[in-house]
């Protein structure tokens, strides 16, 4: 004959085992849920940081504007009015690729559609280049342009333009753009486009 206490003990042991397994699973599930929540929060904070980097910064892109003259400020009070088709080194809506000799200046007309910044400096593959703006005179629209020396051996090769700046809030940052030497190509790659 089976002892009733043995049956009760067996049932109690089985229930205790089920409860222990359930408790372990519950604790593991809570731990996993906490890890997922932390990872989700970290991803959201990273995305918010990227949004701020993009939102408080200058944004450069090739100009899509058609114009008759670019009032190229040569410094020292000298201005050279350049027609888009009249200089084979001006990258603009009418010219997507330059035809220059080594050392001649590439003038890349760009639009600035982001936030204002101060302390702006630009480098093309770690070599400083110029960011110019049309001379302040009648007919000028204040167009921006990049100026860099043309190198035939680099023609068409991908290069990185680094734009270092300080926002109006005092945050210092550097954005990176991809370009092709002598071509009207300019895409921001860091921070990436949304």
9-66: pLDDT as tens digits: 777 777 777 777 777 777 777 777 777 777 777 777 777 677 666 667 899 999 999 9
At residue 37, the pLDDT reads 72
Quote the CA–CA distance of 127 and 134 in Å, as a whole number: 23
Cis ω before 15 (30° cut-off from 0): no
Quote the CA–CA distance of 92 and 98 in Å, as a whole number: 10
Given a cut of 70, the residues of the chain with pLDDT beneath it are 1-2, 4, 48, 51-55
Quote the CA–CA distance of 96 and 60 in Å, as a whole number: 17
pTM of the model: 0.76
DSSP H/E element including 20: helix 4-55
| Total residues found in the chain within this entry | 194
């Amino acid at each position: 004959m089976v002892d009733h206490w043995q049956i009760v003990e067996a049932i109690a042991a089985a229930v205790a085992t089920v409860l222990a397994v359930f408790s372990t699973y519950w604790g593991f599930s809570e731990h996993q849920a906490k890890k997922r929540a932390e990872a989700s929060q970290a991803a959201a904070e990273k995305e918010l940081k990227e949004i701020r980097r993009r939102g408080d910064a200058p944004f450069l892109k090739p100009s899509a504007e058609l114009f008759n003259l670019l009032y190229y400020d040569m410094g020292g009070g000298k201005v050279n009015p350049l027609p888009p088709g009249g200089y084979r080194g001006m990258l603009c809506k009418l010219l997507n690729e330059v035809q220059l000799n080594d050392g001649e200046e590439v003038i890349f007309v760009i639009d600035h559609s982001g936030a204002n910044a101060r302390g702006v400096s630009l480098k093309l593959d770690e070599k400083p280049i110029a960011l110019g703006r049309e001379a302040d005179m009648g007919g000028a629209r204040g167009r921006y342009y990049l100026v860099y020396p043309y190198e035939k051996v680099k023609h068409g090769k991908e290069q990185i333009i680094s734009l270092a700046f300080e926002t109006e809030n005092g945050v210092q940052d550097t954005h990176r753009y991809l370009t092709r030497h002598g071509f009207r190509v300019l895409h921001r790659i860091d921070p990436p486009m949304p």
